């Protein structure tokens, strides 16, 4: 199951992709990580999906990553007494703490934290941004707004606040229960919604206690203003373009996507591009040309992964959607322009021994035309450092820790192999060559470069480079 592309593919599971046969087809079509959306999944269903994925994983002998995406706070208006209303441009509309049914003049806002945080001049976006209000008077009990962009409004429509820093956690009680259940079930990644500040990620990490890695979803303007801090405490970023495009001008999203991709790469942390990538394939067997271009842009930019949402969870053509992403990735990475772009964006190595060695390994491998870079890694940090370099040659990560292999399934270009740890340096070199031969990364007589930490099994201690020949007897592990 060697992939012919470096960028990874996330596929969301849902009503059309929950059984073993379909998950197997999605993996064969190119899915590297499966996403479980807790907005629509019970704990029992989540555990069932995880068990199914692990069964598929064992049958192929390749680590498969599992991402649980927490719902996050859902801010909504209350109910209207006589059905939907029409908000007209220039009208005054009040959102207040009264639980009385709403009408054309007012509605209940069941979130006191919003009323307390709103300021005069703040925008309020209702129903995914279709209706826009501006606050003219605020108090802890009510907000008087002017309708800037009117429209139809009905019960329980969502509220977005692009200008307001809300004094609330990124996790609700439901999220905390979901997170604990997911960690107990053995997932690999947690996607944290509604992130506004680094403290939101730190709170999740305290609950997780090292049982999974945290991917911060960037979907709030407040997070954009604190990207450096959030990236510093996160294990990865997800560019959640859907909600980001509601709360910010749409024309800013492409540049923010590029900025976040490059920031994450500089930090050596995975970045996933998400939302509406092949949206038309929910109902069509082929995507639009614009969607193909959108996916290709993420590949050209050197993102670690691209993600399917409803396309694989509820669409008519889930396997075709994954296959299409797979083909786009392969085609872009064959383009000579791709290598030019990725090389031009290569960051300078950090002033650490591990980063310097990873950079040197990439340069040596390309200068000597070696067949692969083989990383022995316990924690995954060696493979992450090498992947940050975006080398021309394949990257193979050998780890004794299956959980590390599963996490690395989200990382650009890393082919993961779970194997018993090396006994000594000679065993490490010998088995690296045999694994490279077995998995088709090197032929007999070709050379590979091996990167590791010595003493073996020491997390984060990347300090050794070896060049080795793949011998004629290196045929089995």
- In the chain, count H helices and then E strands: 17, 21
Looking at 6, 205, 217, 434, which residue is catalytic?
217
Edge-first strand order for the sheet with 447-453 is 414-418, 395-399, 373-376, 447-453, 462-469
Place of tokens 């220039």: 90
Structure token digits, residue 207: 């609950």
Least confident of 20-34, 155-169, 391-405, 446-460: 446-460
Sign of the dihedral defined by the CA atoms of residues 220, 224, 230, 235, in that order = positive
- Asked whether the predicted pLDDT for residue 460 surpasses 90, the reply is no
Number of CB atoms found within 10 A of residue 176's CB: 15
Report the C-alpha gap between 195 and 300 in whole angstroms.
27
pLDDT of residue 456: 73
Mean pLDDT across the chain, nearest whole number?
A: 95
CATH class of segment(s) 8-72+170-344? alpha beta
- Asked whether the predicted pLDDT for residue 458 surpasses 90, the reply is no
Q: Decide: residue 61, CB within 10 A, 0-12 exposed, 13-18 middle, 19+ buried.
A: exposed
406 catalytic residue (yes or no): no
pLDDT of residue 476: 38
Residue pair 140/111 in contact (Cβ under 8 Å)? The answer is no
CA atoms within 13 A on the CB side of 42: 3
Average pLDDT over residues 59-78: 96
217 catalytic residue (yes or no): yes
Helix, strand, coil content of the chain in percent (nearest 5): 40, 25, 40
Average pLDDT over residues 277-289: 98
Residues of the chain with pLDDT > 70: what percent? 98
Looking at 45, 54, 76, 258, which residue is catalytic?
76
Q: Decide: residue 446, CB within 10 A, 0-12 exposed, 13-18 middle, 19+ buried.
A: middle
Number of CB atoms found within 10 A of residue 261's CB: 23
In this structure, the chain runs to a length of 477
Q: Which residue has the higher pLDDT, 262 or 464?
A: 262
Q: What is the CATH topology of the domain spanning 85-160?
A: M1 Pyruvate Kinase; Domain 3 (2.40.33)
Q: Which residue has the higher pLDDT, 83 or 350?
A: 83
pLDDT of residue 92: 98
pLDDT of residue 474: 43
24 catalytic residue (yes or no): no
Question: Across the strands, what pairs with 10?
Answer: 33, 307
289-300 vs 336-344: helix axis angle to the nearest 10?
A: 50
Average pLDDT over residues 400-406: 97
Question: Which CATH superfamily, name and number, covers 353-469?
Answer: Pyruvate kinase, C-terminal domain (3.40.1380.20)
pLDDT of residue 455: 77
- Asked whether the predicted pLDDT for residue 437 surpasses 80, the reply is yes
- Asked whether the predicted pLDDT for residue 213 surpasses 50, the reply is yes
With cut-offs at 50, 70 and 90, classify the pLDDT of residue 477.
very low
Q: 64: closest CA among 405, 394, 378, 325? A: 405
pLDDT of residue 122: 97
Q: At residue 442, what are phi and psi to the nearest 5 degrees?
A: -155, 145
- Asked whether the predicted pLDDT for residue 310 surpasses 60, the reply is yes
Report the C-alpha gap between 403 and 187 in whole angstroms.
9
Residues 6+ apart with CB under 8 A from 92: 105, 136, 144, 145, 146, 147
Q: At residue 75, what are phi and psi to the nearest 5 degrees?
A: -90, 125
Average pLDDT over residues 29-52: 98
Looking at 145, 275, 382, 399, which residue is catalytic?
275
* CATH 2.40.33.10 residue window(s) in the chain: 85-160
* CATH 3.20.20.60 residue window(s) in the chain: 8-72+170-344
Q: At residue 414, what are phi and psi to the nearest 5 degrees?
A: -90, 120
Residues of the chain with pLDDT > 90: what percent? 93
CA dihedral 389, 390, 394, 400 (to 10 degrees): 60
Task: Tell me the pTM.
Answer: 0.95
- Asked whether the predicted pLDDT for residue 81 surpasses 70, the reply is yes
With cut-offs at 50, 70 and 90, classify the pLDDT of residue 71.
very high
Cα 60 to Cα 27, 28, 56, 300, 338: the distances in Å are 10, 10, 7, 29, 31
């Amino acid at each position: 199951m060697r992939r012919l592309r470096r960028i990874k593919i996330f596929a969301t599971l849902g009503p059309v992709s929950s059984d073993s046969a379909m998950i197997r087809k999605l993996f064969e079509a190119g899915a590297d990580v499966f996403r479980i959306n807790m907005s629509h999944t019970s704990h029992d269903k989540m555990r069932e999906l995880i068990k199914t994925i692990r069964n598929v994983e064992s049958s192929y002998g390749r680590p498969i990553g599992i991402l649980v995406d927490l719902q996050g706070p859902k801010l909504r208006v209350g109910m209207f007494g006589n059905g939907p209303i029409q908000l007209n441009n220039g009208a005054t509309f009040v959102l207040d703490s009264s639980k009385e049914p709403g009408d054309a003049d007012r509605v209940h806002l069941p979130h006191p934290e919003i009323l307390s945080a709103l300021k005069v001049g703040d925008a309020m976006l209702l129903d995914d941004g279709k209706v826009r209000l501006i606050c003219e008077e605020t108090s802890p009990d009510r907000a008087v707004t002017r309708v800037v962009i009117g429209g139809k409004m009905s019960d329980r429509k969502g509220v977005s606040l692009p200008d307001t820093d809300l004094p609330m956690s990124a996790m609700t009680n439901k999220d905390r229960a979901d997170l604990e259940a997911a960690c107990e079930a053995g997932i690999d990644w947690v996607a944290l919604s509604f992130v506004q500040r680094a403290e939101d990620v730190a709170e999740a990490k305290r609950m997780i206690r090292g049982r999974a890695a945290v991917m911060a979803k960037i979907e709030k303007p407040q997070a954009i203003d604190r990207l450096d801090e959030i990236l510093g405490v996160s294990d990865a970023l997800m560019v959640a373009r859907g909600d980001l495009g509601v709360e910010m001008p749409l024309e800013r999203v492409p540049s923010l996507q590029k900025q976040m991709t490059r920031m994450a790469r500089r930090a050596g942390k995975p970045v996933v591009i998400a939302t509406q990538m092949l949206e038309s394939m929910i109902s069509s067997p082929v995507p639009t040309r614009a969607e193909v271009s959108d996916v290709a842009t993420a590949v050209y930019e050197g993102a670690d992964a691209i993600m399917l949402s409803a396309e694989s969870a509820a669409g008519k053509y889930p396997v075709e959607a994954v296959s299409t992403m797979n083909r786009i990735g392969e085609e872009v990475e064959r383009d000579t322009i791709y290598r030019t772009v990725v090389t031009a964006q290569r960051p300078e190595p950090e002033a650490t021994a591990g980063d310097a060695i990873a950079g040197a390994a990439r340069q040596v491998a390309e200068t000597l035309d070696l067949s692969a870079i083989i990383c022995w890694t316990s924690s995954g940090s060696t493979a992450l450092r090498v992947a940050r370099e975006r080398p021309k040659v394949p990257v193979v990560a050998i780890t004794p820790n299956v959980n590390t292999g599963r996490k690395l399934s989200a990382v650009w270009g890393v082919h993961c192999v779970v194997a018993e740890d090396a006994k000594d340096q000679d065993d490490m070199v010998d088995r690296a060559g045999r694994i490279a031969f077995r998995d088709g990364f090197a032929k007999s007589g070709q050379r590979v470069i091996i990167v590791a930490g010595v003493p073996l099994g020491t997390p984060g201690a990347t300090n050794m480079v070896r060049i080795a020949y793949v011998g004629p007897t290196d045929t089995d592990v």
